[in-house]
Amino acid sequence: MSAFADPDIIKMCQKDFIPVTGDDWYQRRRQDKEGEFFRTLADSLGKTGPGGSTRQGIYVFAADGTPLAYKNAGQSASATKEMMQQGLAQFRKLPETKTKPGVVKIEDAGKPDANYSRTPPEGGLILKAYTRILDLKDEKEAKFCMGTCKTTGGDQAARDHVWITKDEVKTLVPAKAEVGFSYPLPAKIADRIVRFHLVDNTRGEPEHWKPQDVRAKRITLTVTAANADAIELKLEGEVLLATNADTAKAERGYEARLIGSLRYRPAKGTFDRFDITVVGVHWGEHPFTRGARPGKSFLGQSFELAGDKPGDRIPPQGIRDIGAYYGK
C-alpha cells in the first residue's frame, strides 16, 4: 500500500503541504519550463541516475525550488512521514524572504512540450484498471481471494487507466441491436487492453507485451438486451500471452479468461457501464518487477469506468509510447 494512504500523511498533505504529482519519465525529458524546474530541483539534491536516467522520488521543496528533503519511494509510511517532517522543519528555518506569502513570484509556465504531454481523449472513455495477485480459496467453486507475496507491496493492488478515443467508442456499438448478435471486440481496443493492461504491475513497471507475444486472443461482445433506452452487452474471451511461441520455454507469460458487462446509451452516444474481470495464470518477471512468486500463480485484473476527479485523468502507464498505445 502506498504511504500516501496513511491517515497522518493525508492530514499533513492537506494542512502543511501543497501536493504535486508528476511522472518522472515525462518530467526528466520534457523540454519546457516545468521540465527545467524539475531537473534543477533533482540535480540540486544529486538524485539522478547515470546520465540523468532517472530522477524518481518524493521531493519536499519551497516555492522557489529550495530543496528541503527527499526520499526515493513511498512504500513505508513511517519513513515517508519522517522525511516530510524533516522537510517541514527545514522549511520553518528559512527566512521570510522565501516563505512569506507573495514573496516568490511564479512566472508563467509557457508552452508545454507537446512530445511529453498527455491529455485524456475528448469525448472518449476512461477506465480504471486494477491488478492483484490471487490465491485459490475454493477450488471446487473456483473462488479466489487476495494473494500472498513475500515481496513488500506485492500483495497490494496496482492501479492504471485505459484511454479509449471518441472514434473508438463508436466502433464498440453493435451493428445490430438484436439479442444474440455477436461481434469481436474492436481490434485496437482489444490489443490495447491485452498488451498494455494484462500485465503484472503489482511490484513495479513491467515491460508491456510485444505484438508477437500475443499467441492467442479471442474477445467477443454479445447483445443480451436491447431497447431504445439501452443496449446491454456481454463480453467474454480468452488470451494467451508468452515471450516464446513454446510456452514451456517462455520466461514470462499469462493465460487468462475475460468476462464483462457493458451498457450503451443510444440517446447519449456513450457507455455508462464498462465492467471487465480477468483471471488467469501468470508466470515470470521483468527486471523492474523483481520478486514474483515462483512458478505459475494466479493473477487478476478488473476494469470499470472512471469518474471525473483529477486522479481519474492520470495517463495510462503504457501511453508513454503513444503511437503503440493507440495502435498507429
Asked if 294 and 152 sit in the same domain, the reply is yes
Residue 292 has pLDDT above 80, yes or no: yes
Question: Where does residue 267 fall: left (phi above 0), alpha (psi -120 to 50 degrees), or beta otherwise?
Answer: alpha
**How big is the CA angle at 165 (ends 164 and 166), to the nearest 5 degrees?**
125
d(CA 206, CA 16): 34
Asked if 37 and 76 sit in the same domain, the reply is yes
Three-class secondary structure assignment of the chain: CCHHHCHHHHHHHHHCCCCCCCCHHHHCCCCCHHHHHHHHHHHHHCCCCHHHCCCCCEEEECCCCCEEEEECCCCCHHHHHHHHHHHHHHHHHCCHHHHCCCCCCCCCCCCCCHHHCCCCCCCCEEEEEEEEEEEEEECCCCEEEECCCCCCCCCCCEEEEEEECHHHHHHHCCCCCCCCCEEECCHHHHHHHHHHHCCCCCCCCCCCCCHHHEEEEEEEEEEEEECCCCEEEEEEEEEEEECCCCHHHCCCEEEEEEEEEEEEECCCCEEEEEEEEEEEEEECCCCCCCCCCCCEEEEEEEEEECCCCHHHHCCCHHHHCHHHHCCC
Question: What's the pLDDT at 261?
Answer: 98
pLDDT in tens, 44-55: 877 676 666 788
Asked if 68 and 144 sit in the same domain, the reply is no
Question: What's the pLDDT at 184?
Answer: 98
- Which of 50, 83, 116 is a domain's end point? 116
Q: What is the pTM of this model?
A: 0.91
Residue 1 has pLDDT above 60, yes or no: no
Residue 328 contacts residue 144 (beta carbons within 8 Å): no
d(CA 170, CA 190): 14
Asked if 27 and 140 sit in the same domain, the reply is no
Asked if 157 and 218 sit in the same domain, the reply is yes
**β-strand 214-226 against 143-146: which pairing, if any?**
unpaired
Asked if 84 and 49 sit in the same domain, the reply is yes
Question: What's the pLDDT at 241?
Answer: 98
Asked if 233 and 156 sit in the same domain, the reply is yes
pLDDT in tens, 6-33: 899 999 999 999 999 889 999 999 999 9
Asked if 136 and 79 sit in the same domain, the reply is no
Neighbours of 232 (CB within 10 A): 16
Residue 171 contacts residue 189 (beta carbons within 8 Å): yes
Asked if 85 and 172 sit in the same domain, the reply is no
pLDDT in tens, 216-251: 999 999 999 999 999 999 999 999 999 999 999 999
Domain that holds residue 133: 125-325
- Which of 116, 133, 154 is a domain's end point? 116
What percent of the chain has pLDDT above 90? Answer: 78
Asked if 267 and 284 sit in the same domain, the reply is yes
| Distances in whole angstroms, Cα of residue 231 to Cα of each of 32, 108, 128, 228, 268 | 46, 48, 22, 8, 12
Domain count, the chain: 2
- Which of 88, 116, 144 is a domain's end point? 116
Asked if 204 and 235 sit in the same domain, the reply is yes
Asked if 107 and 157 sit in the same domain, the reply is no
